[in-house]
Amino acid sequence: MNRPRIALIHATPIAIDPIKSAFATNWPEAEPVNILEDSLSPDRAKVADITDALTDRIVALTKYARMIGSDAVLFTCSAFGRAIEHAAKAVDIPVLKPNEAMFEQAIRRGGRTAMLYTFPPAREGMEEEFREEAARIDPSASIQSILVKGAIEAVRAGDVETHNRLVAEAASKLGDVDAITLAHFSTARALASVKAVTNRPVLSSPDTAIAKLRGLLGAE
């Protein structure tokens, strides 16, 4: 395949830099295309669950990604899992949820997974996705979710240093787990900071998603 085009669908601009950096490091041969619809994140935060209207918007964005010749689609916002599953059925190319590859790797490392998250509306859906992956790979796997208060507000204000410090502090307080997952693409900024305070494996969504995409498209 000549320079596969990967559509990256973002619900917030703070997810763009981490995946851009991950592609540059892990798959420079690919052609990532950014599709930003930044009303999705605040609209999702207003409702308790994903509405039909939000699902329709996710499907429309996925179809647009297919229209521009994308070979695969990767969503970078972790609060739309069910809608993304629905959208994947509407096109004939791979469509990945942000965290599915990360959860797969975490479960295979032993199953006692800690998840550091910063966007509360995403937690319930991510935990459900983890349990679905666990049912397929290792039903005994468990997840412990930790909200890092103030982190997402810091990065939205451009204060990456505070964001990374808060996430690392939360990681340093964790007990005995097999893997630490950074729940959102935006949280991947803290990867090095978290690795510096723990000897546990630390997984991020961008790196693991790219690895899975490469496998799906035969680019390994």
What one-character-per-residue DSSP string does 9-30 give? EESSGGGHHHHHHHHHHH-TTS
Residues 39 and 133 in one domain: no
Please tell me the predicted confidence (pLDDT) of residue 175.
87
Query: Do 110 and 195 reside in the same domain of the chain?
Result: yes
Q: Does one domain contain both 106 and 198?
A: yes
Position 73 scores a pLDDT of 98
The model carries a pTM of 0.86
Domain count, the chain: 2
Report mean pLDDT in 10-residue bins for the chain, 220 residues.
90 93 95 97 92 97 98 92 94 95 93 93 91 94 97 96 98 94 94 96 95 90
pLDDT of res. 183: 94
Predicted local confidence at residue 219, as pLDDT: 78
Dihedral sign, CA of 188, 9, 129, 100? Answer: negative
200 lies in the same domain as 106: yes
**Residues 91 and 104 both lie in one domain:** no
Residues 173 and 138 grouped into a single domain: yes
Q: Which tokens sit at 103? A: 């959860």
| Domain interval for residue 134 | 100-204
Check residue 2 and give its pLDDT.
78
Please report, for the domain that includes residue 35, its CATH number.
3.40.50.1860
Query: Do 104 and 94 lie in a common domain?
Result: no
Contact 140, 173 (CB under 8 A): no
